[in-house]
Amino acid sequence: MVVFITGISSGFGLETARLLSNEGHIVYGTVRRSVEPLLNVHYFNVDVRDKEAIEKAVAQIVEKEGRIDVLVNNAGMGIGGPLEFASEEEVRLQMDTNFMGLVHCVDAVLPHMRKQGSGKIIALSSIGGLMGLPFQGFYSASKFAIEGYCEALRLETKALGIKVVVLRPGDFSTGFTGSRKKVKNQAALQAYPIYKTAIEKVEHDENGGLKPIVLARKISQIIKKNNPRNGYVVASLEQKLSVLLKRILPAKWFARILASYYRV
């Protein structure tokens, strides 16, 4: 299959590109910096926020391969800090990368998938797209947006032979932790002294999380399925339980559990 993956310089994207290429798929991916190239993987140096660049990349893939079978929307970033103190520039960066980047990619591949009457769109959301995480509020907002967008997209494209699958990773040990943009404003730290403890808890969990290959294998399995589920939670047993509790408990009860966990 011809697979287009965004954000393959590290983490989920890198492991997914490596695995799918080794399995014999034709893999194209985006990066924003120079990387050591993987064997048999084709690279585009583009930013998913650049709609025209994404359109050109997709056009080149279709011109060479004749089709795109799978889009894996992986590119993303995170901002940590009190919502009140996030700058408009930071908020736009968060939403434009995580959400509008997905929209740009889907807009580019959909005409070709409609024409061929098939295709899979795999979007990376997060457990944070199912529950608002303290001091990661705009990250959660971007993932909530992906959840709603994909729910509507799934219905709109159902009759066209296109499958839309949402992946919700829990804590994983990737470069995402080190690249998170964190507030350093002293006024913010003074106004929200609980922030430091909460973000330390987040980073501790991420650093001890699952390896990216776990998610890459799940993506490989989804690509092979004729009728994959609408969504998958890929996480530890504890985090899968938290998703279940979010669904079945009264909102106030679950909020207490979440507050206790993050020590806020």
Cβ neighbours of residue 157 under 8 Å, at least 6 residues apart? 110, 113, 114, 121, 164
Give the pLDDT of residue 177. 64
Q: Angle 137-157/101-116 helices, nearest 10 degrees? A: 10
Residue spans per domain, the chain: 2-261
Give the pLDDT of residue 184. 72
Give the pLDDT of residue 175. 72
Give the pLDDT of residue 245. 96
Q: Answer yes or no: are the C-beta atoms of 132 and 242 closer than 8 Å.
A: no
Q: What is the distance between the alpha carbons of residues 46 and 53, in angstroms, rounded to a whole number?
A: 6
- pTM of the predicted model as reported, rounded to 2 decimal places: 0.94
Give the pLDDT of residue 205. 83
Give backbone dihedrals phi and psi of 153, rounded to 5 degrees, phi first: -60, -40
CATH code of domain 2-261: 3.40.50.720
Give the pLDDT of residue 214. 97
Give the pLDDT of residue 8. 97
Give the pLDDT of residue 183. 73
Active site members: 9, 125, 139, 143
* pLDDT < 70 positions in the chain: 177-178
